[in-house]
Chain A
Amino acid sequence: MDNAISLTAVPINTAVFIYDIKKSPCRNRLYELGFTKGTRVIPLHINPGKSAVAYFVKGAVIALRNSDAENIYVMGDKA
């Protein structure tokens, strides 16, 4: 799908749904933490150095570095 954007481009407090996760060393860890296809994700806080963002996912708040979150592609509604 062409209208999927990277998770890092989503504004704070906007709910989006995961479309795909690109292959990367931490992909498995992301899966286990609940970043799976179709899951709703909401960015909540940006850290002071703007290097990481805290996301709401499956009931938990998880901080991801932008270089990892870049690999997650999301869409505005459930595909």
Chain B
Amino acid sequence: MKKILLVGNPNTGKSTIFNALTGKHQHTGNWSGKTVGNASGIMRYKGEEFEITDLPGIYSLEPISEDEIQAVECLRSNIADLIVVVLDATCLERNLILASDITRLCTNVIVCVNLIDEAEKKGIEVDTVKLSNMLRVKVIPTKARSGIGIDLLKEAIYTQNEKCRCCCCSPECIYKSCVYSGQDITNNRDRKIDRILTSRVFGIPIMLFMLCCILWITIWGANYPSGILSSLFGRIENILLELFADMPVVRGVLIEGVFRTLSWVVAVMLPPMAIFFPLFTILEDLGYLPRIAFNLDHIFKKVNAHSKMVLSMCMGLGCNAAGVISTRIIESKKERLIAIITNNFMPCNGRFSSLIMLAAVFISGGMFASIKVALAVTAAILSGVFITFMISYILSNTILKGEGSSFILELPPYRAPQPMAIIRRSIRERIVYVLFRAVIVAAPAGALIWLLQNITVNDITLLSHIAGFLDPFARIMGIDGYILTAFIIGLPANEIVIPIVLMCYTGNSGLIEFNSLSELGMLLRAHNWTYITAICAMIFSLNHFPCATTLLTIKKETGSIKWTVLSFLIPTIVGVVLCILANAILRIAAL
């Protein structure tokens, strides 16, 4: 089978082309550094199979950051039969430098000029025939996102056999003779948008406003599916309970344990995740994320961290393990470690649903409930950002001391997101993924909880023993033994923490039906929760040990037990200290 590599500058559409060729679902996003590891897939064309590999973007053959090192190693190892160099038609002046370097290094090359649609809009014309003559390789123009030119590219890969002769023109010379650019540089659409979104007055307020809006839509939108799902599960549970009426243990473990926990995960945790994710992907595809880094650069400069951390923090909002992997784009080792250790201060999707739930405890229903909850969760996320800054500052002045950092980042053009593609991706990556995790993690946890609730030692259930043991300490932190137990059992996955808390409280009383998250908050209040309990639980949810998957990822990425342990300890200590402080202050204030 022929091996084919996709190489090129970052953000030129390599992963989009890879997906079009192989039918796979490699992540794409409108910023440099979305892909940080190699991915392979099979392309079938006219009865033949080709192995296609998508590489992280590179700027030159001398790599600096971890993702680039991987790509260049793969390129230089000579394992490929054919290299497809993907170029951005709107940025050929720079892209051609890499293209001509690669034609010199490798003998079998095809050039693909992608993003032709954007070039046309910007008034840039590319003479691909002349380009092909000068580079002495096949040149295929494509619009990968709409699939135009992909068949030509397949055909070119299929028929390619000649070794190319070396090209002797300089990239500047090729650019001058093949590209005509009539683009308005200083006043085009992107510049007008950037003048607002990165402006001194509006830049940061707009950013906060967008965050708040997204959260509000998520919270408001999640109520409805949550209510429907919970009543649906309630009905199914009643039927199941009757079915297994004469098998108490099976009925207990499978229905009151496993099924009930699964239904909590799906009814309470899933809807906010399924709504937040596509909204966030819209921002990513628009190209907004690098602008956040640009807007906040001065703060990162003060705390001696790399502004590209913004990108890994944003990925962390989806999943902390993904956030940790995305730190590969940070060139300096020291700054990368700071980004890895602090990534957990950004609440991942699973914790994010918990925060919404918890905020609903102290914000009672009414007209503006969802707006108030949105503000509370925004405050929680901002406090996570603030703690990230503080910890970065402390780390960069103690154990991770080093040279002041540099900040070099591309601001991509704004691109219109594709709603259908985003919805399809959200269903695949959130709903299917969460359901999968629910089965793998929540089901055993549910069975475990039921057993703990029903096995008694000295007339007291095991769960009460454990919770009772943790209770004195938990009380100092403003929460109770059950909540702390739930956090510990939730180590494999954060999305099961709240369902476990609910399981502990609702024990033998059957599934409670509810119509909105606020109603669920009332349930907790009935179990002696006050606003202090909820706030401390929110603080601990935001600041505690990373989930098991994230810890394993940190171990893999840093290759060191020491940094993994620190990544576990630092957030936990911060969480415990903050909870104790918050509890003390709130209690004194309440007197």
Interface residues, chain A, with chain B CB atoms under 8 Å away: 13, 25-26, 28-34, 42, 44-52, 54, 56-65, 67-68
CA distance A44 to B186 in the complex (A): 7
Q: Are B186 and A67 in contact (CB under 8 A)?
A: no
Closest Cβ of chain B to A65, distance in Å, is 4
Closest Cβ of chain B to A22, distance in Å, is 13
Cβ contact of B408, chosen from A30, A42, A46, cutoff 8 A: A30
Q: Are A51 and B408 in contact (CB under 8 A)?
A: no
B236 touches A (CB below 8 Å)? no
Q: Are B294 and A33 in contact (CB under 8 A)?
A: no
B519 touches A (CB below 8 Å)? no
Q: Are A49 and B298 in contact (CB under 8 A)?
A: yes
Which stretch in B86-94, B145-153, B487-495 binds the other chain? B86-94
Q: Are B411 and A51 in contact (CB under 8 A)?
A: no
B297 touches A (CB below 8 Å)? yes
Q: Are A47 and B90 in contact (CB under 8 A)?
A: no
Q: Are B185 and A49 in contact (CB under 8 A)?
A: no
Which chain A positions have C-beta within 8 A of B64? 28-29
By Cβ-Cβ distance, the 7 closest A-B pairs, closest first, are A49-B298, A59-B91, A51-B298, A58-B94, A32-B59, A58-B93, A65-B407
24 cross-chain CB contacts under 8 A: A13-B186, A26-B406, A28-B64, A31-B60, A33-B408, A33-B410, A34-B94, A44-B194, A45-B195, A45-B198, A47-B294, A48-B295, A52-B298, A52-B307, A56-B186, A58-B91, A58-B94, A59-B95, A65-B297, A65-B301, A65-B307, A67-B301, A67-B406, A68-B408
Which chain A positions have C-beta within 8 A of B186? 13, 42, 44, 56
CA distance A65 to B299 in the complex (A): 12
Q: Are A52 and B185 in contact (CB under 8 A)?
A: no
Q: Are B408 and A62 in contact (CB under 8 A)?
A: yes
Q: Are A47 and B410 in contact (CB under 8 A)?
A: no
Q: List 19 extra interface pairs beyond A45-B294, A59-B93, A63-B290, CB under 8 A.
A: A26-B406, A28-B64, A29-B59, A29-B331, A32-B97, A42-B185, A45-B194, A48-B198, A48-B199, A48-B203, A48-B295, A50-B298, A59-B94, A60-B91, A61-B413, A62-B408, A63-B409, A63-B411, A64-B407
CA distance A50 to B410 in the complex (A): 17
Q: Are A25 and B91 in contact (CB under 8 A)?
A: no
Which chain A positions have C-beta within 8 A of B296? 49
B251 touches A (CB below 8 Å)? no
Closest Cβ of chain A to B187, distance in Å, is 8
CA distance A65 to B297 in the complex (A): 8
Q: Are A59 and B90 in contact (CB under 8 A)?
A: yes
List the A residue with the shortest CB-CB distance to B207: A48
CA distance A56 to B301 in the complex (A): 22
Which chain B positions have C-beta within 8 A of A62? 408-411
Q: Are B94 and A52 in contact (CB under 8 A)?
A: no
CA distance A51 to B303 in the complex (A): 13
Number of A-B contacts (CB under 8 A): 118
Which chain A positions have C-beta within 8 A of B200? 46, 48, 50
Q: Are A67 and B404 in contact (CB under 8 A)?
A: yes
CA distance A26 to B408 in the complex (A): 9
Q: Are A47 and B299 in contact (CB under 8 A)?
A: no
Name the residue in A49, A50, A56 with the highest tally of chain B Cβ atoms < 10 Å from its Cβ: A49
Which chain B positions have C-beta within 8 A of A34? 93-94, 97
Q: Are B298 and A47 in contact (CB under 8 A)?
A: yes
Q: Are A68 and B407 in contact (CB under 8 A)?
A: yes
Closest Cβ of chain A to B417, distance in Å, is 19
CA distance A32 to B331 in the complex (A): 14
Which chain A positions have C-beta within 8 A of B331? 29
B191 touches A (CB below 8 Å)? yes
CA distance A75 to B331 in the complex (A): 30
Closest Cβ of chain A to B295, distance in Å, is 5
Q: Are A44 and B298 in contact (CB under 8 A)?
A: no
Which chain A positions have C-beta within 8 A of B298? 47-52
List the A residue with the shortest CB-CB distance to B98: A32
CA distance A30 to B409 in the complex (A): 11
List the A residue with the shortest CB-CB distance to B91: A59
Which chain A positions have C-beta within 8 A of B92? 59
Closest Cβ of chain A to B514, distance in Å, is 43
Q: Are B297 and A51 in contact (CB under 8 A)?
A: yes
Interface residues of B in 274-318 (CB under 8 A from A): 290, 293-299, 301, 307
Closest Cβ of chain B to A49, distance in Å, is 3
CA distance A55 to B307 in the complex (A): 17
Which chain B positions have C-beta within 8 A of A56? 185-186
Closest Cβ of chain B to A9, distance in Å, is 18
Q: Are A32 and B297 in contact (CB under 8 A)?
A: no
Closest Cβ of chain B to A64, distance in Å, is 6
CA distance A30 to B60 in the complex (A): 11
Closest Cβ of chain A to B215, distance in Å, is 22
Which chain A positions have C-beta within 8 A of B203? 47-48
B403 touches A (CB below 8 Å)? yes
Q: Are B406 and A54 in contact (CB under 8 A)?
A: no
Closest Cβ of chain B to A60, distance in Å, is 5
Closest Cβ of chain B to A18, distance in Å, is 14
CA distance A28 to B406 in the complex (A): 12
Q: Are B403 and A25 in contact (CB under 8 A)?
A: yes
CA distance A52 to B413 in the complex (A): 18
CA distance A53 to B137 in the complex (A): 38
Which chain A positions have C-beta within 8 A of B62? 28, 32
Q: Are A51 and B90 in contact (CB under 8 A)?
A: no
CA distance A67 to B408 in the complex (A): 11
CA distance A44 to B200 in the complex (A): 14
CA distance A34 to B295 in the complex (A): 23
Name the residue in A32, A58, A59, A68 with the highest tally of chain B Cβ atoms < 10 Å from its Cβ: A59
Which chain A positions have C-beta within 8 A of B413? 61
Q: Are B93 and A52 in contact (CB under 8 A)?
A: no
Which chain B positions have C-beta within 8 A of A42? 185-186
CA distance A59 to B96 in the complex (A): 11
Which chain A positions have C-beta within 8 A of B520? none
